[in-house]
Structure 1
């Protein structure tokens, strides 16, 4: 029994150390120097579908950007709420804004991908920034992003935003996106090589050099993808362009979901396709998180009941690992205490996503059904 607990402690320490070391290869957006000279034209693109509740916050955050040579194109993708009307009201004649009425969704295209494709045809600026409607930006986001993009000589900059969370299920699941990246993705390979398998991106914030984006064919090359952000970043690498994944949490926030149902639908839509629809990978990850992130809670309960505090150590180390990620990414660190529940939620979502895919039930999002 002592061997078992020592084994758990050793592995938990290894996971913590690996996460810390991996984080050294995740650059952060930093306050741009006053001497930084960015004069290139930047086009900001926002696809919107039934986003009436986000219109005011989105338009306000875009108007607050201090970069001068900028334009904003927003596409209303057949919303059946008041999105379009509210956009016009909030823009209030600001000439930097263009509102586009989306075309009907063609067969074989995913909705967001088609919306982004239409947006990309509307402007030929030097840089193209795709953001989601639920994103809020620091006033100097463009300057900070261009500085890092140029420093790394990259053609795509992306990053997982800070996630303010309020719903209980959201608190368990949404911040795990940062955990998965910092724990599982080899950031050395992701940021210093053009190897496509070592790639991650977040569709809520993707800044492209226009020449490179159009050079690979833009969103049209991944027209049916449900994980369009990662697939587009991989396409960039396959075409020999450098991609940088950054910690953008100091500049970009994303209010992803408004209900627990949206959390469920959003993650079931992305998880199994994001894992390459691999049954073996879902089984492996389910076992991995069950053994190393759910079982430590049971071990700690046993240790407390039997007054053997050594058995509490694996749980404390998993909490420390999650807390490190949360502190690094602007999340509330007390959520790390719930790591076993987060792991349970992740395992359930992975398997639910897999079963929907295998049974050909499709994935529901924004009133559309995808296979």
Structure 2
């Protein structure tokens, strides 16, 4: 029992060091002046958007993209058997924006997840030198696309994954969504992600991934990760395995997204990803849960139990550890334009993700996979 405070102290010290370093050094998108990226030098870009029941979002995304004032821009949307007005909205844009084109998704083959199959079809139809895969709910501020390409060039990226600035509204969104940025900003040093060619030092965000076409083809595209639920991370790992350059950048308010709307979407979305994000291994998910309880809950439990818990240093040591955990969350929130004050609720977020892990495990046991957008997804 005596070693636990020291282990927690060491863990939080490491996370604080990574968070502070990443806050200073993490690449960020910046507005790019026309003279810094002349239109004549820009590559041909295909923006590829898989869309299943995205009528609420696809119009705004296309409005943003068609206003980017970009030559040779190709915007392909694949309607993945939507049951709403997704296709009709895209068709309306096609009549006034020749760069927009609608593809009708083919039947889902065995062994593929829906998103991976949609992205593979989009890539096969694209003609650009840069293949930029984007979710339908991503919004693009003026000049954002030019900024992505400029960052790609400056960072010498074969794959540039952009972490959009996340918009959170409801309390469940605020308590869950920012932890995605925390996991990157506090757990993975940016220098390691960019310079160490091991697949474990890879992360990516499928909301915005820009590939050089040659790199995408070398790794086998989405066919190489056809059954993956967290295909973004798997593609980033493939890039590293091939000796190519993975680069990451923060959207910095130019690329933004409200990825979930309300408690149900947030819970379902993270339930879909959490088990796959731990390699579909119960042991890793259990260790991760224990790790987060130890670092972000145990200090407050120790503080509350007081002298009845036979550990030295009460109350200053547990209080310092509790605030250190909050500081990790606050630093990453500031770095990614989230609400810094929500950091004090980190213990609540940890409990919510414990519940999400339990939901994911129950769905795996009950259905043999996880449910998402009316489909049962099994990763093989």
TM-score scaled by structure 1?
0.91
Q: Within 5 Å, which residues of 2 pair with 1:309-348?
A: 311-348=318-355
Distance 2:371 2:8 in 1: 39
Q: Is the 8 A contact 2:29 2:151 kept in 1?
A: yes
Q: CA deviation at 1:17?
A: 2.4
**In structure 1, how many angstroms separate the alpha carbons of the residues matched to 2:2 and 2:124?**
63
Q: Give the corresponding residue for 2:29.
A: 29
Shift of 1:261: 2.0
Q: For residues 302 and 279 of structure 1, do their structure 2 counterparts lie closer, same or farther at Cα, with a shift above 3 Å needed? A: same
1:368 corresponding residue in structure 2: 375
Q: Give the paired residue count.
A: 368
Query: CA separation of 1:295/1:241 partners in 2, compared to 1, >3 Å: closer, same or farther?
Result: same
- Kindly report the root-mean-square deviation, in angstroms, between the aligned alpha carbons of the 2 structures: 2.4
Confirm or deny: 8 A CA contact 1:54 1:134 kept in the other structure: yes
Classify 1:168/1:244 alpha carbon distance in 2 versus 1 (closer, same or farther; 3 Å): same
Per-residue CA deviations over 1:320-363 (Å, capped at 9, x if unaligned) read 21111001001111111111111111222223323433555311
What does residue range 13-52 of structure 1 map to in structure 2 within 5 Å? 13-33=13-33, 34-37=35-38, 38-52=41-55
Kept in 2, the 8 Å contact 1:9–1:313? The answer is no
1:216 is displaced (CA, Å) by 2.3
Would you say 1:122 and 2:129 are equivalent positions? no
Match of 1:227 in 2: 230
Check if 1:201 corresponds to 2:204.
Answer: yes
Structure 1 regions of 5+ residues with no counterpart? none
Looking at structure 1, the residues matched to 173 and 368 of structure 2 have their Cα atoms a distance apart, in angstroms, of 24
SS of the residue corresponding to residue 53 of structure 1 reads: coil
Consecutive aligned runs of 4 or more in structure 1 exceeding 6 Å deviation: 1-7
The one of 66, 69, 86 equivalent to 2:69 is 66
- Paired residues of 1:59 and 1:91 also in contact (CA < 8 A): no
Contact 1:289 1:347 in 2 (8 A): no
SS at match of 1:158: strand
Q: Tell me if the contact between 2:12 and 2:321 (Cα under 8 Å) persists in the aligned partners.
A: yes
Give the Cα–Cα distance (whole angstroms) in 2 for the partners of residues 235 and 186 of structure 1. 19
Q: Which residue does the alignment assign to 1:273? A: 276
Query: Which string of whole-angstrom CA distances, capped at 9 and with x for unpartnered residues, describes residues 278-322 of structure 1?
Result: 22221211111112112333345567xxx9566433222222211
Residue matched to 1:100: 103
Deviation at 1:93, TM superposition (A): 2.2
DSSP-derived class of the 2:48 partner: strand
Q: Within the alignment, does 1:141 sit opposite 2:144 as a pair?
A: yes
User: Where in structure 2 are there 5+ consecutive unaligned residues?
Assistant: 307-313
Larger displacement relative to structure 2 (39-48 or 312-321): 312-321
Cα separation, partners in 2 of 1:295 and 1:97, compared to 1, 3 Å: same
TM-score (norm 2): 0.89
CA shift in 2, pair 1:70/1:6, >3 Å: same
CA 105–2 in structure 1, closer or farther in 2 if over 3 Å, else same = closer
Q: How far off is 1:4 after superposition?
A: 7.6
2:173 aligned with 1:166: no
CA contact (8 A) 1:193 1:242 kept: no
- 3-state DSSP of counterpart to 2:355: helix
